[in-house]
Homo-oligomer: A and B are copies of this chain.
């Protein structure tokens, strides 16, 4: 059954929860999930409220208008979405296809509530996979010289497909602000280390050289500061002195697919609020 999802943050104050709950009750919503968090140091309140819209006493289109006075009273930043409004996703990938395959398989299995609008790559390798899953594939090759032009073509493609979310599924190119800015907190990247350890290139080689006993993967929103964006999900796996760099990479691929899928799913179900460099992920 379709639901509305209200995500909000504002300065903490008495009466907040009551006011939001009262709003939902007055419009005929039935709350199926509510979660909140108060950052007591910063004095900021965060909430996610999900409610059934089947018995609304007002039209869907009026919900936002009805909520506006509540939001204004408390100085909220907020957004409202509906579980049956399907988000459009573009997956960007380079040569390593494990995250792409995993996302496509989960999508087909019904785990990811979205439309996968396109697969875009700077290499031709995964066109057959895209075709197998009946998703349009675009190759946008790039060299150091053509970087700017390629990004321009990429921006065009994302616009043409009306993309809501960009997933960097081991896309080994740095995105500039032409992409990052319009899609702020709508670009999810997977980094193959337990950030902030081993930021930058070749994290498995770095981890091997340092002799760590666990390796990790981190899904985060891409920002203009590489590997510094707000972290959404992380996972680790145990390794030993027996593991070569290749073994770390193999073990790591399992982490990468799992962590990226978890982050994409959290985004698509409107569970993530960003504040500062951090995220609140309601579960």
A105: Cβ under 8 A from any B Cβ = yes
A234: Cβ under 8 A from any B Cβ = yes
Give A53 Cβ to nearest chain B Cβ, in Å: 12
A166: Cβ under 8 A from any B Cβ = no
Q: Which of A77-85, A141-149, A167-175, A273-281 contacts B (4 or more CB under 8 A)?
A: A273-281
- CB-nearest residue of chain B to A262: B254
A22: Cβ under 8 A from any B Cβ = yes
Give A41 Cβ to nearest chain B Cβ, in Å: 8
B210 to A234, Cβ gap below 8 A?
no
Q: Which of A27-35, A115-123, A181-189 contacts B (4 or more CB under 8 A)?
A: A27-35
A86: Cβ under 8 A from any B Cβ = no
Q: Which of A68-76, A154-162, A195-203 contacts B (4 or more CB under 8 A)?
A: A195-203
20 contacts between A and B (CB under 8 A): A14-B28, A14-B29, A14-B55, A17-B24, A17-B34, A18-B21, A18-B22, A20-B21, A101-B105, A109-B253, A132-B132, A194-B197, A195-B197, A210-B277, A211-B278, A212-B234, A213-B234, A241-B278, A241-B279, A254-B258
Interface residues, chain A, with chain B CB atoms under 8 Å away = 14-18, 20-22, 24-25, 28-41, 46, 55, 97-98, 101-102, 105, 109, 111, 128-129, 132, 194-198, 209-214, 216, 230-236, 238, 240-242, 244, 250, 253-254, 258, 276-281, 283
Q: Which 10 A-B pairs have the closest CB atoms?
A: A211-B278, A18-B25, A18-B21, A197-B197, A21-B21, A213-B234, A241-B280, A14-B30, A17-B21, A132-B132
